[in-house]
Amino acid sequence: MPRVTTLFRVLKSWGLTVEYVPGWSTRGSTSFDPVGVVGHWTAGPRGTDKRPSLRIVTEGRPSLPGPLCNVYLDRRGVCVIVAAGRANHAGKGAWRGYSGNSRFLGIEAEAADNADWTDAQREAYPILCAALLDAIGSTDAGMVCGHSEYAGPRKIDINGYTPNQLRAQTQSVIDGLRPVGNLDPEEDLTVSQYTELKQGIDSLQNSIQSQQVDFVSTAGRAGQTNFIGALEQILTLQRQILTRIEKLELEKES
């Protein structure tokens, strides 16, 4: 695998908000065969929604040529793809018997230190890890590590996350259990998610109704009663979702 040029498409497919630095698909060395992901923070300035470290992680610094990561995660949880090829992020060290920048994708999150993660970053980070593993054909969250685990005492990122928690969350995402945070269960879907759910139910209803004539002519009385009961349940669900969408829309407007 010379460069991971599927990054944009794969990250999008995991529902992440994705941007890129122009030239990303040809940035970074082609001697690249990643099997895992190393997590970092930028140790940049505190308290800004801007992207103070994006330029450095793209272009590098006098002592270390860029790119310095594959994906930069800003404070709003936006994944900015910096490089599809090998990046200078891990340095000396090893994780699970693999060593070197050619074996690991690198994430740089804009954060000053372990107390400086935003909720948006915490939500996006494990999904990003799952997506990066997906891009290299892996479903093993054990191949995600923090720089501090890879490099030992010379590095402290991302020990405050913590990496154990990150691996557990990443595995949950991979296994289809996306972390939903501490949201009120009533508030856990957005309008667009409700709309998508309703569209799914609508199409289910259509497909049931299109087979209704066949079914009713062949099923007995009990079958017909069950069938009508199921349709009524679907209609009730549709009404509940519509009410919920309307309420969310109203809240958004007010």
Footprint of Zn ion (CB under 5 A) = 40, 147, 157
User: What is the closest distance, in whole angstroms, from the C-beta atom of residue 73 to Zn ion in the complex?
Assistant: 13
**Among the residues of the chain, which ranges form H helices?**
7-13, 54-59, 119-135, 147-151, 163-174, 191-210, 212-218, 221-253
User: What is the closest distance, in whole angstroms, from the C-beta atom of residue 196 to Zn ion in the complex?
Assistant: 37
User: What is the closest distance, in whole angstroms, from the C-beta atom of residue 42 to Zn ion in the complex?
Assistant: 8
Burial 92-128, CB ≥16 within 10 A → b, else e: ebbbeebeebbbbbbbbbbbeeeebbbeebbbbbbbb
Q: Which of residues 32 and 150 has its CB atom nearest to Zn ion in the complex?
A: 150
Tell the burial category of 167 from Cβ atoms under 10 Å away from its Cβ (0-12, 13-18, 19+).
buried
User: What is the closest distance, in whole angstroms, from the C-beta atom of residue 47 to Zn ion in the complex?
Assistant: 21
Q: Which of residues 116 and 157 has its CB atom nearest to Zn ion in the complex?
A: 157
User: What is the closest distance, in whole angstroms, from the C-beta atom of residue 119 to Zn ion in the complex?
Assistant: 22
Sequence-distant (≥ 6) Cβ neighbours of residue 39 within 8 angstroms: 107, 109, 125, 129, 144, 145, 146, 147, 157, 158, 161, 163, 166
Q: Which of residues 21 and 68 has its CB atom nearest to Zn ion in the complex?
A: 68
Q: Which of residues 103 and 147 has its CB atom nearest to Zn ion in the complex?
A: 147
Q: Which of residues 149 and 157 has its CB atom nearest to Zn ion in the complex?
A: 157
